[in-house]
Chain A
Amino acid sequence: MSTVVQKKGFFPVLWDYLTTVDHKKIAILYLISGGFFFLVGGLEAMVIRIQLAVPDSNFVSAGLYNEILTMHGTTMIFLAAMPLLFAFMNAVVPLQIGARDVAFPFLNSLGFWLFFFGGIFLNLSWFLGGAPDAGWTSYASLSLASEGHGIDFYVLGLQISGAGTLIAGINFLVTIINMRAPGMTYMRMPLFTWSTFVASALILFAFPPLTVGLFLMLFDRMFGANFFDHTMGGNTIIWEHLFWIFGHPEVYILILPAFGIFSEIFATFSRKRLFGYSAMVFATVLIGFLGFMVWVHHMFTVGLGPTANAIFAVATMAIAVPTGVKIFNWMLTMWGGSIKFTTPMLYAVAFIPSFVAGGVTGVMLAVAAADYQYHDTYFVVAHFHYVIIGGVVLGLLAGTHFYWPKMFGTMLNETLGKVTFWLFLIGFHLTFFIQHFLGLMGMPRRIWKYLPNQGLEVGNAISTVGAFFMAAGVLVLIYNIIITQVRNERVGNDPWGDGRTLEWAIASPPPFYNFKQLPLVRGLDPYWIEKMEGNDRMTPAEPIGDIHMPNNSFIPFVMSLGLFIAAFGAMYQVDWRASDGAEYGWAIPVLVIGMLITIGSMAVRSLKDDHGYHVHKEDLEKDDEEGGRL
């Protein structure tokens, strides 16, 4: 039973992580790489704010500014926010439903490595001739005119990481449908599991349009197609539709899991069952549906006509209703609860007014006629930062503090946590509140510099100061993480003392097979029910028996690496053809080799049987006697 032996030393651990199919380790991989990209994106944000701190500034050049702005948005959405959410989904959802792993452990690992290599590819553009510079929305009329390979990095990088996201979405859907423990009915699932479920469904149906859009862009830029070139009969609006049919659901893919995290936190620290559970579930599902019917609100000014604009305006406003239902349920969960203001709870409480402010500006923007005034100004920038930072990022920071003990078995320092919270919250409002007014005064978004004496100086200066507060908050968090891991004080199953759901019923971090015996779920908040009846653990639903586990595999890494290599070939074959074969002769061979690596590793996966292995009953029982070492 070599697999049960703990691995020690740097290289064995590295190899373990490169080949792991364990959802808890994949969660850590997502957390580390998502965290890394969050810092990169944050650095880019600081450059933006420094450039805009004073009028007529020359801190960065116009071209570089466009690249930084584009990479900030793209990195934060695709490489930071989503992977960080995946980190918590991976760490928590299988535990919350009482499963030993996800439905497709191999694909779980593949999804991560595709995201990782896609992200690295995109960021290599900085060192290989310049980053993409047409905004995170990369509108075709701009991006087709962009010289160099920046946009190609965007297209290929997002294509690779997007495939990983799609795989992760399918994996969570099947996991939640098929792998629930006995008694875990749909209407007993914790809200974080529900929101993961709905967000995964959104991923499944929203990512294919992006995939198609990226393919069309790839064909136009790299293979001479004419989808967006109107002189050849093409139509640049097609990109906008495809992008936003993906793009609007995408913002709900981000916010729904954050809603889920907050729902868990509100119930836990109000020490009260979530108010209006079934209404919460219904609202989540409804938001998911409506999310697909509003994309045109990003295109009000394109000229699709008053009828289209009116229909989509009304549909957009309708989303505010289920969102409002959720807000009231959270507040009523706190009402009459015995509230404990831990760091996660502080984030949750601060989230409500911050997010509501973003929702209000959202409804303002949804008024199509008024949007002609707001569109492409800092008002929109303020709106989406209020919902994304005030919602998603606060959710991620709350989740980091809340789930840290479950993921790592140590508790982040609460005092430092609160310092981070206050710095970040104050900084956030300082940065973005004033931007509403900058926008209303006419400051366009994505602008490189503004002139003095137009009334924009004070607002921009305040905004930049706020950004430094947020950066300071993040630095304190990093310090907190480091000292916590160095001190390494281990905590027990339920370190917050108020855990309600299954993940708090097992060790922190859990053993690699999660549950020695699958738990019997007897209602909503199953662990809370057991605690109320005086039990310190879940009632098992089965006798101790052999546990079937999947084998580790290096194939996902190699498969993703192949695509990463092939992407370079696809990109530079353009130069090879432009030079009539005089230069870049290696491009096509690299493309072919990369594809062969990927297809070859798929074939190996398909041809070689992989039955997994069993952890034997005797080992589990012996382990029990020795005090749970496994």
Chain B
Amino acid sequence: MDMEQKFTSKTWPESPEKTTLEGKNKFLGFWLFLGGETVLFASLFATYLALKDRVPDNSHALAQDMFELPLVFIMTMLLLTSSLTSVYAMYHMKNYNFKKMQTWLLITVGLGLAFLGFEIYEFNHYVHAFDHTFTSSAFGSGFYTLVGFHGAHVVIGLGWFILLLIRNSRRGLNLYNAPKFFVASLYWHFIDVVWVFIFTVVYLMGMVG
């Protein structure tokens, strides 16, 4: 099959991400990879919970002292919305509407960047207002590792979207790049789901003590 073959919205298959064998493999392999990532984050969550509020002495700030709802609520909304916009992008991908897919992906990237900005502000705030650093206590190590791993995933997800957008900016959709866009958006959803857990386990449960 010619991978560069041009389509029209009529001839474009229903599930372009799974039409070729390569696409099918990529789709399944990526789901499995996300299964492994789930275990990875589960291990990080378990570590965080074991070390939550574990500090060398009581001069150190605890979860209850630091976390504030408004900030993390905004971050949650940003990321949830970006998940929705990436769904729109995939909707247009399936309808062979490249322009609209690009637009929605750009919006997704914008929201992701905004989230990242807030996260950098947040970390900076904890370091300066509370002396809560990566090395100050086991609590600090656990917190920055869990939330930082998530943040690193956001960075990778954004880099991935941007790279795909640049590479394909002028050639439109085909059966070679459709699976790539699709798995990138799967990754983005996964990041969003992890954040929902962070929001609950780290922040909400942290604020109640």
Contacts and interface: CB of A to CB of B under 8 A. Distances in A.
Contact of A174 (B28, B46, B139, B163): B28
B80 interface: no
A594 to B, nearest CB: 17
Contacts of A226: 135, 137-138, 140-141
B167 interface: yes
Contacts of A609: 3, 176
B138 A171 contact: no
B142 A227 contact: yes
A211 B3 CA distance: 36
B47 interface: yes
Contact of B28 (A178, A229, A234): A178
A596 to B, nearest CB: 14
Interface stretch (B36-44, B93-101, B114-122): B36-44
B28 A235 contact: no
Contact of A607 (B33, B54, B145, B167): B167
A208 B137 contact: no
A24 B168 CA distance: 34
A223 B134 contact: yes
Contacts of A205: 35-36, 39
Contacts of A178: 21, 24-25, 28
Contact of A219 (B37, B43, B46, B141): B141
**Number of contact residues on A: which range applies?**
35 or more
A209 B43 contact: yes
Contacts of B110: none
Given A225-B141, A226-B135, A104 B51 contact: no
Instruction: Describe A's contact surface by its main secondary structure.
Output: helix
Interface residues of B, number: 35
B201 interface: no
B50 interface: yes
A205 B21 CA distance: 25
B155 to A, nearest CB: 12
Interface in A151-182: 166, 170-171, 173-174, 177-179
Contact of A232 (B36, B47, B56): B56
Instruction: Describe B's contact surface by its main secondary structure.
Output: helix
A209 B36 CA distance: 9
B30 to A, nearest CB: 9
A178 B176 CA distance: 18
Nearest to B167: A607
A238 interface: yes
Given A178-B25, A611-B3, A208 B135 contact: no
A227 B141 contact: yes
Nearest to B137: A233
Nearest to B1: A548
Contacts of B164: 606
Contacts of A213: 43
B176 A611 contact: yes
A224 interface: yes
A255 B32 CA distance: 22
Given A104-B29, A233-B54, A233-B55, A204 B43 contact: no
Contact of B25 (A104, A209, A220, A241): A104
A433 B83 CA distance: 59
A207 B36 contact: yes
A611 B175 CA distance: 11
Contacts of A219: 134, 141, 145
Contacts of A477: none
Interface string A219-259: 11001111101011111001001100100000000000000
B40 A233 contact: no
A108 B163 CA distance: 24
A328 interface: no
A234 B135 contact: no
Nearest to B141: A225
Given A174-B29, A216-B145, A226-B141, A209 B39 contact: yes
A224 to B, nearest CB: 4
A21 to B, nearest CB: 14
Nearest to B30: A170
Interface in B105-157: 134-135, 137-142, 145
A212 interface: yes
A215 interface: yes
A227 B134 contact: no
B145 A225 contact: yes
A103 interface: yes
A229 B138 contact: yes
A225 to B, nearest CB: 4
Contacts of B47: 212, 216, 227, 238, 242
Contacts of A241: 46
B24 A234 contact: no
Contacts of B139: 233
B36 A212 contact: no
Given A171-B29, A219-B145, A235-B54, A224 B134 contact: yes
A486 interface: no
A603 interface: yes
Nearest to B171: A609
Contacts of A220: 141
A205 B44 CA distance: 14
A242 B36 contact: no
Nearest to A174: B29
- The 6 A-B residue pairs whose C-beta atoms are closest, nearest first, are A233-B54, A233-B138, A208-B40, A225-B141, A234-B138, A212-B43
Given A208-B39, A219-B145, A231-B56, 17 more contacts: A104-B29, A174-B25, A223-B134, A224-B134, A225-B134, A225-B141, A226-B135, A226-B140, A227-B47, A227-B145, A233-B55, A235-B138, A242-B47, A245-B43, A607-B163, A607-B167, A611-B176
30 contacts: A103-B28, A170-B33, A173-B28, A174-B25, A178-B25, A178-B28, A204-B32, A205-B35, A205-B36, A208-B39, A209-B43, A212-B44, A212-B47, A216-B47, A216-B145, A224-B135, A225-B134, A225-B135, A226-B135, A226-B138, A227-B142, A231-B56, A232-B137, A233-B137, A234-B54, A234-B141, A238-B47, A238-B50, A242-B47, A609-B176
